[in-house]
Chain A
Amino acid sequence: MVTLDAKIPDGSVAEKWDNHKFSVKLVNPANKRKFEVIVVGTGLAGASAAASLAELGYNVKVFTFHDSPRRAHSIAAQGGINAAKNYRNDGDSVHRLFYDTVKGGDYRSREANVHRLAQVSVNIIDQCAAQGVPFAREYGGLLANRSFGGAQVSRTFYARGQTGQQLLLGAYQALASQIAAGKVTLYNRSDVLDIVKKDGEACGIVTRDMLTGEVHGHSAHAVVLATGGYGNVYYLSTNAMASNVTAAWRAHRKGAMFANPCYSQIHPTCIPAADEFQSKLTLMSESLRNDGRIWVPRGDDDARGAAEIPEDERYYYLEEKYPSFGNLVPRDVASRNAKTVVDDGKGVGPLKNGVYLDFAAAIGRDGVEAVKERYGNLFDMYERITGEDPYSTPMRIYPATHYTMGGLWVDYNLMTTVPGLYALGEANFSEHGANRLGASALMQGLADGYYVLPYTIGDYLAPKLGDTPVPTDDPVFTESVQAIDDKSRQWTSNKGTHGVEHYHRELGKIVWEHCGMARNEAGLQTALKEIPALREDFRQNVKVLGSPDGINTMLEKVNRVDDFMEFAELKVRDALHRRESCGGHFREESQTPEGEALRDDENFAYVGAWEWKGSDAEPELHKEDLEFETVQLTQRSYK
């Protein structure tokens, strides 16, 4: 029986991080150059970690499947990044950001981790401003802030609607400086297909060069995964096309436990799907909810255009149900309410699959110019995609999968259950509980990479001084290299019937239908039968053309879908076992009389971490009980 030791430091919640920083082992500056660290992924978490570790003196190897580190999907984050700066004098503090994050996560996160996140949030803004991130400014030259999705203070910093891009470019530039300094070696267009262990510890990875098809082992003293979330298990999501669970899943198969895979965040403001050919969904920043009013026609199956529906026949359902938060209720609440009205036949648009987000009031109050200044690029994007002008017609929006709170289980040091293997950013499970607040993903990714891992990794490395990394001609590497090469040849000799997109789409339909915005016992049981059947069909009948010895986008994708096929089953299993509703996990059997998520703290106040037991065996559930010393557990209410 494995025990999950979160290694939470002693002291009050506010003292834990300081205590920990003092108690962890340090690596002497002159000795840091004797260590090799592999970082997989170059999004906010990966790029910031790699740059920071290299600045400290470690030798870093960075891997990305993109052509350049700057392409990672963090680049697409729009809205902003939270920090407890209290620049607006509106009552914000580290404690309030901590409290809001624990509450927003529906009490399924670790207090100690969240408090640390709130503490370092202020450093992130200072660091990014120093790097030259062009945050929005007031006329006087001070940084501008806005309030964002579910917060009652203005603590969100932003760079137009491109905050993720600018923060990522800051981290990418820091990384570039370390590449130029020779402290970081960059391996681009490299697909990480295995995590290698020796004597129980992570000692490297195996990659496929996406240009030549060659499979290689790479060794190091520690391996850091910053490989993002699993949102593309739904096929349609706001994730980039290549975002995948492969590195995390293959780490899971090597012994890293996977925590809370049932938690997915469904973002309330995305452009509704238009047709079967749709390849992804596009998010419209939720900052739009600051000024847009959400409504549907009061009557069912109303065929009139938005302009023809008089005011008293419009149902502003969020404003009516939640007078104090209105359109700014947290993402899960906004999403479920949209689903309810659409399921009731009040949906709008050609497929009746959306709700209106209306800016007429804001334009009337502040003028077109002010609205354009705030949201111009988002409005332009909406018009390009839909062909409709949101200045004159309300936008149509509908929820879509956006972010995944679950991930590899990590302790307070961000180490997985495999010694020497770390998980950062969206790839881990820790800070957001069952629901992430807006503008907190960027904060967490950068916190992990700039301010947490650089402190905690030394504790693991210090005793290894003098050890040389396992050579890549060791059987642990060569056997894995051979297995991956064989598998590639096996896939490309599959003369099946359907392409890989077909299977991904089918998988997405099952997961969205039964493990999407609302889940129930019967649906989850159905999914648990349908997924293995589809997986079997996929493995037998998927068609992969071309050669493994060169660029082959079908081969890249087939590996990813193969892992999603296994991951989906674990996700459903986790959703089935968690017979409560919390945050992004809504079990229809567990709701309040008003239809809100009803937690069961007595039985489910824990992190569910799953252990891989082999392809033919059921995974084993381990529980890390969550203890709340500072925050009082309450039913969330946004009335």
Chain B
Amino acid sequence: MSEMLNLKLKIWRQDGPRSQGEFLDVDAHDIPVDASFLEMLDVVNERLIADDVEPITFGHDCREGICGTCGVMINGQAHGPEKATATCQLHMRKFNDGDEIVIEPWQAQAFPVLKDLMVDRRAFDRIVEAGGYISVPTGTPQDANATLIPKEVADTAMDAAACIGCGACVAACPNSAAQLFTSAKLGHLNVLPQGQSERWKRTEAMVETMEDFFGSCTNHGECHDACPKEISLDFIAFMNRDYVKAKIKNRSLASQ
């Protein structure tokens, strides 16, 4: 049997987007250190159900740190204390017996709380729909090896494309800005040769859609610290440069 922890939890409960929320105090005793953070919540939920209390609603699915569904504020930190780790991959061995843990949903105007710890992140989909793709209808494009892409370029694109869309960057940002998320998608597509034809149109459309929903970036860097995939702040700089260029290029293209 695993070693056990006794924890004092303060968990945010909220019925819906317009309801008043409040903290639920839970004495979580006998939590195995080998449990993941979400398995700890599973245990808490099973005990609540046994007492005829509705379980706490939280987003989760793959529990492998890749689907991006999960994510809560743990003692004020998005995804909790372990670096480069999504909530589902955080394990209770990172906590100590007797710890108090405050668990809250992501807090941002663009991410309204749906229930308890679950938020609505559809604004991210709107940003991608604005241009986060390369227009290549299914068919028979050129052979995959016809365009050589240096390893460094492919690696940079992959570094950016590793984003899981969890929203921790927004939750961690004092301005609730989505620059890291948006720049990761732009960084992925804008460095690749395939992404060049739509580069300027894509950049302008995605940045402006982002600004419809989210706050402005003031270079705190909290987003990077919270990111479970350690997406680099360089992509924000790259996006800003491309955005300025895009504003000029798109105008001159239009005048031709």
Known: A451-B138, A553-B55. A501 touches B63 (CB 8 A): no
B42–A381 touching, CB < 8 Å = no
Residue in B32, B42, B82, B122 whose CB lies within 8 Å of A501: B42
B47, closest chain A residue (CB): A499
Residue in A70, A384, A545 whose CB lies within 8 Å of B54: A545
B60, closest chain A residue (CB): A241
Residues in A whose Cβ lies below 8 Å from that of B91: 384-385, 387
A51 interface residue, CB < 8 Å from B? yes
Would you give the shortest CB distance from B147 to chain A, in whole angstroms?
8
CA distance A166 to B89 in the complex (A): 20
A550 interface residue, CB < 8 Å from B? yes
CA distance A169 to B229 in the complex (A): 16
Enumerate B46-100 residues with CB–CB distance to A below 8 Å.
46, 49-50, 52-55, 57, 59-69, 82, 84-85, 89-91, 93
Would you give the shortest CB distance from A371 to chain B, in whole angstroms?
18
A621 interface residue, CB < 8 Å from B? no
Known: A70-B165, A76-B62, A127-B138. A277 touches B42 (CB 8 A): yes
Known: A176-B132, A277-B43. A162 touches B122 (CB 8 A): no
B216 interface residue, CB < 8 Å from A? no
Residues in A whose Cβ lies below 8 Å from that of B142: 126, 130
Residue in A123, A137, A274 whose CB lies within 8 Å of B150: A137
B154–A137 touching, CB < 8 Å = yes
B138–A71 touching, CB < 8 Å = no
A142–B145 touching, CB < 8 Å = yes
A127–B145 touching, CB < 8 Å = no
CA distance A277 to B45 in the complex (A): 12
A85 interface residue, CB < 8 Å from B? yes
CA distance A605 to B218 in the complex (A): 66
B194–A129 touching, CB < 8 Å = yes
Bitwise interface map of B from 120 to 162 toward A, beta carbon under 8 Å scored 1, else 0: 1110110011101111111111111101111100110110011
B15, closest chain A residue (CB): A550
A543 interface residue, CB < 8 Å from B? yes
Chain A CB within 10 Å — which of B136, B145, B157 has the most? B136
B161–A169 touching, CB < 8 Å = yes
Known: A140-B148, A279-B42. A545 touches B53 (CB 8 A): yes
B21 interface residue, CB < 8 Å from A? no
Enumerate A225-252 residues with CB–CB distance to B below 8 Å.
240-242
Interface size on A, as a range, is 35 or more
CA distance A275 to B149 in the complex (A): 46
Residues in B whose Cβ lies below 8 Å from that of A192: none
B132–A173 touching, CB < 8 Å = yes
A143 interface residue, CB < 8 Å from B? yes
Bitwise interface map of A from 128 to 161 toward B, beta carbon under 8 Å scored 1, else 0: 1111101111111111000000000000000110
A188 interface residue, CB < 8 Å from B? yes
B188 interface residue, CB < 8 Å from A? yes
B138–A141 touching, CB < 8 Å = no
B134–A130 touching, CB < 8 Å = yes
Bitwise interface map of A from 590 to 620 toward B, beta carbon under 8 Å scored 1, else 0: 0000000000000000000000000000000
Would you give the shortest CB distance from B107 to chain A, in whole angstroms?
17
B49, closest chain A residue (CB): A499
B114 interface residue, CB < 8 Å from A? yes
Would you give the shortest CB distance from A138 to chain B, in whole angstroms?
7
Residues in A whose Cβ lies below 8 Å from that of B93: 387
Residues in A whose Cβ lies below 8 Å from that of B154: 134-137
Enumerate B179-209 residues with CB–CB distance to A below 8 Å.
188-189, 192, 194-195
A380, closest chain B residue (CB): B84
Bitwise interface map of A from 423 to 458 toward B, beta carbon under 8 Å scored 1, else 0: 000000000000000000000000000110010000
A241–B63 touching, CB < 8 Å = yes
CA distance A73 to B63 in the complex (A): 11
Residues in A whose Cβ lies below 8 Å from that of B122: 67-68, 188
B134–A173 touching, CB < 8 Å = yes
A73–B151 touching, CB < 8 Å = no
Known: A67-B59, A71-B69, A127-B138. A141 touches B151 (CB 8 A): yes
A551–B114 touching, CB < 8 Å = yes
Residue in A55, A76, A134, A451 whose CB lies within 8 Å of B158: A134
Residues in B whose Cβ lies below 8 Å from that of A307: none
Would you give the shortest CB distance from B198 to chain A, in whole angstroms?
10
Would you give the shortest CB distance from A597 to chain B, in whole angstroms?
30
Bitwise interface map of A from 535 to 574 toward B, beta carbon under 8 Å scored 1, else 0: 0000000010110001101100000000000000000000
Would you give the shortest CB distance from B136 to chain A, in whole angstroms?
4
Known: A130-B194, A139-B151, A141-B151. A55 touches B137 (CB 8 A): yes
A165 interface residue, CB < 8 Å from B? yes
A125, closest chain B residue (CB): B144
Would you give the shortest CB distance from B203 to chain A, in whole angstroms?
15
Would you give the shortest CB distance from B101 to chain A, in whole angstroms?
17
Q: List 6 A-B contacts (CB under 8 A).
A: A68-B121, A76-B64, A132-B192, A180-B130, A186-B125, A554-B54
Question: With contacts A277-B35, A550-B16 known, what are 5 further pairs, Cβ within 8 A?
Answer: A71-B68, A76-B67, A127-B141, A499-B50, A545-B54
B interface, CB within 8 angstroms of A: 1-2, 15-16, 32, 34-36, 38-39, 42-43, 45-46, 49-50, 52-55, 57, 59-69, 82, 84-85, 89-91, 93, 114-115, 118, 120-122, 124-125, 128-130, 132-145, 147-151, 154-155, 157-158, 161-162, 164-165, 188-189, 192, 194-195
Ranked 9 nearest A-B pairs via Cβ: A141-B148, A173-B133, A129-B144, A130-B141, A134-B158, A134-B157, A137-B154, A55-B137, A52-B138
